[in-house]
Chain A
């Protein structure tokens, strides 16, 4: 069953179209991540779900209750939707305990116990309750913001790039903690981010937005392997895209003969492979020949740029190849590439490729 259903949402700010006909269904209890470059309309969408913005047209339904349609709108304070913005937005004039208790009834007898329970659930020490927001670190502020949003037992949790202000190590730890916490509580969650690696690791459902449109949605693995178009492919990670001629399930391209995921396609088109689908092989004669032109050492992995040499003299396309950091061949050495798995045949979508 779907918890949240967005239908044909449109919104313009002046002449700028922020959302164009966005429809999306979020299954109950799932962790949906909306990912897109800045200015893609993802934050507008999130604020619309929270009730801070209203669409020009379209409707929004949560657990069967209409939140917004052409004639009516439930105001933000009656939606019972949790919201954690990028910087946490803690109330600077309240202590940690008062921040967390803001959404709780003021005279409730179990208020103290509930605040303690919430602090415990986000792994905040109990003696932090009387601290002020400016005395907390970035990670602690985000935990308080999360606990505050959880206090009102939200029907839906919205996270607006909540980890982007944290440093790298803390970021992934927080991500895991939040994902586990929300899954255990069974709260449907929508997270918005521009960071594809964060999106892929947090999501069990992923939606890609670009220029106010929803380009593709589905399971993260599917989107990574079978992106709708070249831009989505490149946005979700490094990709090798090259022209190819398709014949009966095989692509003929600069890498030689590569099996593809589509039987239906015929003729010339473009195919996509992820760099990890390319393997370096020292065996002479297997796969395709190339010359290493650049080597970028990155610790555990090393990214090589390999210029393909289908013909001996003409330098071909330069493609990125991953290699183990310690055994990477030197610049100038000749290598052979073999492919693993299927190449993905990209659809020809001219309409969206503006950039």
Chain B
């Protein structure tokens, strides 16, 4: 039916069946199906929550949920959030303003020190405090350690946004007769709203999800209660129902953040590059107070963990360095981290590619599936995977595959955000170019777009790796017998109150996290936002 081609080189060029549907190439259809698959997987924990509620039935749900124990947990959780969030927000804004907008001596160093606590896993923070002040417990302890462990989540986006604000807007406000304080309240603070909301959401979700931190200081939250329940009754309805309530709390928090964020978009209007930020000169008294705030924060957030670790390491001497146990734990952690990071990054590729190259309603739905799941606590994801694998996929129950799946569900957005930024920097025209030079769509994607997005993908993979290194809850619940990562090894030691033997594990975790925390700091200097 086709006339013979006159040029021998293209004699193989058989016309394909005309592509139809959403994406006009075979590659596009493949990518769409893959991203739908990943997103369906992401819906698993939600399906689990709905499924168990359905199975248990309303009468028993009532019996399990309307009891004093649940009320007590709810009060604990709400109080924790209500005290911790405002403190984190205030501390984050104060430190960010001081390091970005004032002439505080050593601003750069303070700025790095404000991010550094992220390298210390939350449960190591609370280990440090418990061994420093053994009597510490309950709500005040919970609030103290939470603020210290999580305030960088607010500092980072707020500082990045402050750096990018157009100083001309503040100049205009001042020229309209506003005093400096009024300028801050009426012009600067409203522009920080997105950063504050994003950071506060992140902190809030951590408060709901964290297990190790609160278990160590004997403060009961939903997560610790579910964990205990799971330990005593395994996969029982009580644990599942608590998980459902916890999931609801998370969804409520997501909704609250979305409505607080509103529809506002704060973008610079107009062209040309913004001028340098104006630096406020602090009075001597204020300088002393500011330095005091920075120093106290630094001592609490870095000094205490480092001091305690140092104390235990010295006290433990050479005996605590049990290399026959430490090295396998390090190896397993690194292997799990690399495998999880690679898997998660690969799974994020189709969704990231779609969101840049073919944005639409389908892609937005797929993306929000992944965000919702990753906002669910690790313990809910773990319970869901336990239930599903026991009932439907017995062969992979308590295998590394399940652990990696949990990492994928929990940390996909970290890879997604980076990857999306990377792909956005590779213009579609380059991919087209490669196709016109004879490369198939798949090859063009790999040779050009993926190659150009590689640095961003690596950054995303590093963030996932960091998260996996410090992951405790899901690993404890899902890992096959004999698995001992740095985090679970540390946990096993502290559970035996062998704080000295736990110290090397904590030190290695911190050292592993440090370069990646540096990367996070570096990234935030370039991009503001969540």
Binding site for B on A (CB under 8 A): 47, 50-54, 63-68, 70-83, 85, 87, 89, 91-93, 102-103, 148-149, 151-153, 155
Closest to A50 in B: B436
Query: How far, in whole Å, are A53 and B427 apart by their CA atoms in the complex?
Result: 16
Other-chain contact of A54, B6, B24, B439, B444 (Cβ < 8 Å): B24
B391 at the interface (CB under 8 A from A): no
> Which residues does chain A contribute within 8 Å of B17, judged by CB atoms?
71-72
Smallest distance from the beta carbon of B464 to chain A beta carbons, Å? 24
Task: Indicate if B358 sits at the interface (CB-CB under 8 A).
Answer: no
For A73, the chain B residues whose CB sits under 8 A away are: 15-16, 18-19
Chain A residues with Cβ under 8 A from B448's Cβ?
91
A231 to chain B, nearest CB (A): 31
5 sampled A-B residue pairs with Cβ under 8 A: A63-B5, A79-B13, A80-B13, A89-B432, A89-B433
* Partner among B14, B429, B438, B451 whose Cβ is within 8 Å of the Cβ of A89: B429
From B5, B9, B433, A91 is in contact (CB under 8 Å) with B433
A66-B2, A77-B440 known; A72+B435 contact, CB < 8 A? no
Q: B6, A63: Cβ atoms under 8 Å? A: yes
**Most B CB atoms within 10 A — which of A52, A54, A87?**
A52
**B434 within 8 A of partner (CB):** yes
- Measured CB to CB, the nearest residue on chain B to A81 is B436
Q: How far is the CA of A270 from the CA of B345 in the complex (A)?
A: 66
Q: Closest approach, in angstroms, between the C-beta of A5 and any C-beta of chain B?
A: 12
Do A78 and B3 form a contact, CB below 8 Å, given A83-B432, A91-B430?
no
Partner of B427, one of A66, A82, A89, A152: A89
Identify the 6 closest CB pairs spanning chains A and B, nearest first: A72-B15, A78-B13, A103-B437, A76-B435, A83-B436, A64-B3
A79 is contacted by which of B433, B436, B440 (Cβ under 8 Å)? B436
Please report the C-alpha to C-alpha distance between residue A103 and residue B24 in the assembled complex, in whole angstroms. 23
Q: How far is the CA of A51 from the CA of B15 in the complex (A)?
A: 12
Q: Check if B24 sits within 8 Å of A92, measured CB to CB.
A: no
Q: Which of B10, B14, B18 contacts A70 (CB 8 A)?
A: B18
Residues of B within 8 A of A72 (CB): 15-18
Q: What chain A residues lie within 8 Å of B438 (beta carbons)?
A: 77-78, 80, 103, 152
Question: Using a CB–CB distance below 8 Å, which chain B residues touch chain A?
Answer: 2-3, 5-7, 9-10, 12-19, 24-25, 427, 429-430, 432-441, 443-444, 448, 451-452
Judge whether B15 and A74 touch: CB under 8 Å. yes
Give the CA-CA distance A80 to B439 in the complex, in Å.
Answer: 10
B433 x A85 contact (CB < 8 A):
yes
Chain A: which residue is nearest B425 at the CB level? A92
Cβ–Cβ < 8 Å partners of A153 in chain B: 9
B435 touches A75 (CB 8 A): yes
Report Cα–Cα, A70/B430, bound state, in Å. Answer: 28
CB neighbours (8 Å) of B427 from chain A are 89
Question: A155: which B residues are within 8 A, CB to CB?
Answer: 7, 10
A179 to B451, CA, bound (A): 34
Bound-complex Cα distance A85 to B19 (A): 25
State the majority secondary structure of interface residues on A.
loop
- In the bound complex, what is the Cα–Cα distance between A64 and B2 (angstroms)? 9
Most buried by B among A75, A78, A83, A151: A75
Minimum C-beta distance from A123 to chain B (A): 21
In the bound complex, how far is the Cα of B133 from the Cα of A141, in angstroms?
Answer: 66
Which chain A residues border B10 with CB–CB below 8 Å? 65, 78-80, 155
Chain A CB count within 10 A is highest, among B13, B14, B19, for: B13
Q: Which chain A positions have C-beta within 8 A of B452?
A: 92-93
Residue of B nearest to A47 (CB): B432
Other than the given A64-B6, A73-B16, 15 more pairs (CB < 8 A) read A47-B432, A53-B24, A54-B24, A63-B7, A65-B3, A70-B18, A72-B15, A75-B435, A78-B438, A79-B10, A79-B436, A85-B429, A87-B429, A89-B429, A103-B438
Chain A residues, CB < 8 A from B451:
93
| List of B residues within 8 angstroms of A93 by Cβ | 451-452
Expressed in whole angstroms, the Cα–Cα distance for A82 and B437 within the complex equals 7
- Residues on A with beta carbons closer than 8 Å to the beta carbon of B19: 54, 73
User: Are B7 and A76 closer than 8 Å at their CB atoms?
Assistant: no
CB-defined contacts of A53 to chain B, threshold 8 Å = 24
What separation, in Å, do the CA atoms of A80 and B5 have in the docked complex?
A: 12
> Contact at B433–A83, with CB atoms within 8 Å?
yes
A74 near B436 (CB under 8 angstroms)? no
The answer to whether B18 and A51 touch across the interface, beta carbons within 8 angstroms, is no
A72 to B1, CA, bound (A): 12
Enumerate chain A residues within 8 angstroms of B2, measured Cβ to Cβ. 65-66
Closest to B18 in A: A73
Say which residue of B9, B16, B24, B25 sits within 8 Å of A74 (CB atoms): B16
The complex places the Cα of A64 from the Cα of B439 at a distance, in Å, of: 23
Residues of chain A lying within 8 A (CB to CB) of residue B430: 89, 91
- In the bound assembly, the distance between CA atoms of A70 and B444 in angstroms comes to 26
Whether B18 and A71, one on each chain, are in contact in the complex, defined by CB atoms closer than 8 angstroms, is: yes
A47: chain B residues at CB < 8 Å are: 432
In Å, the complex CA distance between A68 and B10 comes to 15
Q: Residue among B18, B427, B441 with the most chain A CB within 10 A?
A: B18
B435 touches A77 (CB 8 A): yes
- Taken together as a complex, chains A and B put the C-alpha atoms of A78 and B16 apart, in Å, by 10
Q: Out of B3, B5, B7, B439, which one reaches A77, CB within 8 Å?
A: B439
Q: Which residues of A contact B436 (CB under 8 A)?
A: 50-52, 76-77, 79, 81-83, 149
Give Cα A64–Cα B413 distance, bound, in whole angstroms: 50
Q: How far is the CB of B419 from chain A (nearest CB, A)?
A: 17
Q: How many angstroms from the CA of A63 to the CA of B4 in the assembled complex?
A: 10
Q: Which of B5, B6, B12, B440 contacts A75 (CB 8 A)?
A: B440
* C-alpha gap A102/B13 in the complex (Å): 19
- CB B229 to nearest CB in A, in angstroms, measures 53
> CA A85 – CA B5 in complex, angstroms?
27
* Interchain CA distance A36-B384 in the complex, whole Å: 60
Residues of A within 8 Å of B6, CB to CB, are 63-65
A302 to chain B, nearest CB (A): 36
Distance (whole angstroms) from the CB of B497 to the closest CB of chain A: 54
Which chain B residues border A79 with CB–CB below 8 Å? 10, 13, 436
* Nearest CB of chain A from residue B462's CB, rounded to whole Å: 20
B contact residues around A74 at 8 Å (CB): 13-16
User: Contact at A66–B15, with CB atoms within 8 Å?
Assistant: yes
